[in-house]
């Protein structure tokens, strides 16, 4: 069969989609070029906001309607909304062939056999009593790969649906992760991003090491030890981990970022609000001052540290003063980029019991104000890079301008660059930055950057 995946949502979903694609290809199926060409279409869904679910349901409706002209085509749904709504999706969309839960990607080949044998409307959701089946298959050939290290989430942020749809935390054994990274590096991957909803909790849910495994750097916490072991794998040139939580920025994590070769000086550290009152209602477990303290410790450890974040506007009871506190925090923390979300009540979350009392128009206004603030801030921070030379991991031809290449700096900034000598994806190149926009840097390749293996750290943003 030829398959097509439509993915909404976060990096975790992107990773799940890749593992499904790899499972399908291992079973002999091939990627389709478009919907008309596909025998199997899967919508990989997100539940984080109402709108994300509406979009996916709309897409599934169109795909199910398309079965009138292509009755053989299979249409399935996976991801967070599939897990949250389960069999109820079949009531709304009876033509759906299957509904696959968030930890069930590896069941897909068997489901396809069952569909071929005449079954219809198969629902396979997570069973909390069964050990999770970790997505570990990869498509070959990517320079940059996501590796899931922590499944689920044990925090109970008041607004968030994730603990319901992705289950309790489960940390993968370090040995399995290291084997996965070894084989990725051997097939050409140069950058790995270790994924977990709250990745700094790695190893806190269950043991992950064989007891005798030593740490050359004397690290005792599990995430630093994992970063150290990944860094020692030949071929790995860059290591990232996401998403962070301010309370997880321990002195060891900060030291690991500073000292372990290849760990990039960038964190995505969602703050959500700058108001202590709202942070309390959100049950985030820190104050604005504690967040800024974590940022200060990271910045003093790494001169070129870059920081990105998530902010929610219009959480129940958020006042103008609360909102202004968020604006001040964004400025004080100097975010290189911020993802801004309008609060959306999610069923069964603690915040769903509160009145969604910030009017939509006001949420939109606050959203717009923060977007404009962030644009100015991003422009200012990026302009400070003009004239500098950054190590850029070349990813491929720029989608917007095929005369240019695109890559990322150690600080995860997008760099669009011109080059004379031929390069291939995966090269580390030195790019002299000549201009800046809020979301990207522009420049030209000078000399090839030396392999940074063994050198102390990447030292450019």
Binding site for ligand SF4 (CB under 6 A): 9-10, 12-13, 46-48, 79-80, 161-162, 165-166
Nearer to ligand SF4, 52 or 377 (CB): 52
* Cβ 162 to ligand SF4 shortest distance, Å: 5
DSSP one-letter code for 305: -
Cβ-based neighbours of 361, under 8 Å, separated by 6 or more: none
Query: Helices in 35-173 by DSSP H: which ranges?
Result: 50-65, 80-85, 88-92, 108-116, 162-166
Question: What is 337-394 written as a DSSP string?
Answer: EEEEEE----TTSGGGGS---S-HHHHHHHHHHHHHHHHHHHHHHHHTTTT-EEEEEE
Least separation, in Å, of the C-beta of 44 and ligand SF4? 8
Q: CB of 160: closest distance to ligand SF4 in angstroms?
A: 8
Please state, in angstroms and rounded to a whole number, the distance separating the CA atoms of residues 109 and 10.
24
Q: Is 9 left (phi over 0), alpha (psi -120 to 50) or beta?
A: left
Rule CB under 6 A: say whether 310 interacts with ligand 5AD: yes
Task: Answer yes or no whether residue 344 interacts with ligand 5AD by CB under 6 A.
Answer: yes
Q: How far is the CB of 326 from ligand SF4 (least distance, A)?
A: 20
The residue at minimum Cβ distance from ligand SF4 is: 9
Stretch that binds ligand 5AD, among 79-87, 114-122, 341-349, 426-434 (CB under 6 A): 341-349
| Interface with ligand 5AD, residue 268, by CB under 6 A | no
Instruction: Centre a 10 Å sphere on the Cβ of residue 401 and count the other Cβ atoms it contains.
Output: 12
Selection from 110, 33, 20, 36 nearest residue 69 by Cα? 36
State the Cα angle at 93 between 105 and 53, rounded to 5°. 65
Binding partner selected for residue 225 from ligand SF4, ligand 5AD, none, CB under the kind-specific 5 to 8 Å limit: none
- Could you tell which of ligand SF4, ligand 5AD, none binds residue 270, using a CB distance below 5 to 8 A set by kind? ligand 5AD
Q: Is 211 helix (H, G, I), strand (E, B) or coil?
A: coil
Residue selected from 13, 124, 198, 272 as contacting ligand 5AD according to rule CB under 6 A: 272
Which stretch in 147-155, 337-345, 357-365, 386-394 sits in contact with ligand 5AD by CB under 6 A? 337-345
Nearest distance from residue 47's CB to ligand SF4, in Å? 4
**Least Cβ distance, residue 159 to ligand 5AD (angstroms):** 4
CB atoms within 10 A of CB 319: 12
Positive or negative torsion for Cα 23, 29, 35, 40 = negative
Structural contact between residues 203 and 221, judged by C-beta atoms closer than 8 angstroms: yes
When CB distances are held under 5 to 8 angstroms depending on the partner's kind, the choice from ligand 5AD, ligand SF4, none that residue 25 binds is none
Q: Is 49 in the site for ligand 5AD (CB under 6 A)?
A: yes
Which of 188, 345 has the CB closer to ligand SF4?
Answer: 345
In the list ligand SF4, ligand 5AD, none, the entry touching 9 (Cβ below 5 to 8 angstroms by class) is ligand SF4
The only residue of 343, 405, 417, 442 in contact with ligand 5AD, by rule CB under 6 A: 343
Q: How far apart are CA 43 and CA 7, in angstroms?
A: 6
Phi, psi of 282 (to 5 degrees): -75, -10
Contacting residues toward ligand 5AD, per CB under 6 A: 10, 48-49, 159-160, 270, 272, 310, 312, 341, 343-344, 346
């Amino acid at each position: 069969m030829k398959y097509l995946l439509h993915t909404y949502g976060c990096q975790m979903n992107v990773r799940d989609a890749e593992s499904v694609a790899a499972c399908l290809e291992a079973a002999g199926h091939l990627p389709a070029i478009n919907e008309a060409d596909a025998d199997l279409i899967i919508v990989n869904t997100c539940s984080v906001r109402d709108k994300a679910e509406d979009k996916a349901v709309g897409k599934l409706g169109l795909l199910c309607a398309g079965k009138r002209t292509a009755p053989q085509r299979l249409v399935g749904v996976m991801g967070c909304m599939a897990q949250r709504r389960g069999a109820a999706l079949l009531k709304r969309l009876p033509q759906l062939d299957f509904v696959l839960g968030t930890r069930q990607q590896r069941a897909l080949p068997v489901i396809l056999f069952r569909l071929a044998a005449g079954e219809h409307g198969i629902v396979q959701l997570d069973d909390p009593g069964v050990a999770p089946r970790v997505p570990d298959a990869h498509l070959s050939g990517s320079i940059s790969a996501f590796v899931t290290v922590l499944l689920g989430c044990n925090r109970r942020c008041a607004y968030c649906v994730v603990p319901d749809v992705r289950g309790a935390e489960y940390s993968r054994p370090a040995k399995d992760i290291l084997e996965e990274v070894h084989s990725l590096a051997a097939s050409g991957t140069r950058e790995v991003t270790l994924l977990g909803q709250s990745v700094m909790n790695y190893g806190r849910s269950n043991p992950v090491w064989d007891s005798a495994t030593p740490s050359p750097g004397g690290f005792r916490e599990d995430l630093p030890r994992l970063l150290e072991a990944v860094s020692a794998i030949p071929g790995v040139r860059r290591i990232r981990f996401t998403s962070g939580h301010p309370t997880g920025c321990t002195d060891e994590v900060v030291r690991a970022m500073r000292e372990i070769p290849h760990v990039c000086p960038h964190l995505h550290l969602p703050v959500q609000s700058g108001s202590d009152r709202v942070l309390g209602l959100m049950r985030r477990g820190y104050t604005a001052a504690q967040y800024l303290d974590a940022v200060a410790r990271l910045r003093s450890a790494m001169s070129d540290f870059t920081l990105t974040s998530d902010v929610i506007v219009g959480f129940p009871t958020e006042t103008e003063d609360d909102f202004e506190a968020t604006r001040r925090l964004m400025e004080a923390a100097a975010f290189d980029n911020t993802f801004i979300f309008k609060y959306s009540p999610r069923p069964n979350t603690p915040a769903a019991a509160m009145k969604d009392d910030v009017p939509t128009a006001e949420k939109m206004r606050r959203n717009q104000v923060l977007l404009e603030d962030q644009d100015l801030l991003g422009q200012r921070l990026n302009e400070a890079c003009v004239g500098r030379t950054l190590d850029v991991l070349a990813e491929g031809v720029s989608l917007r301008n095929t005369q240019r290449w695109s890559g990322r700096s150690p600080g995860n900034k997008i760099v669009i660059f011109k080059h004379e000598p031929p390069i291939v994806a995966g090269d580390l190149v030195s790019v002299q930055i000549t201009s800046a926009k809020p979301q990207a840097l522009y420049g030209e390749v000078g000399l090839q950057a030396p392999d940074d293996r063994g050198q102390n750290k990447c030292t450019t943003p």
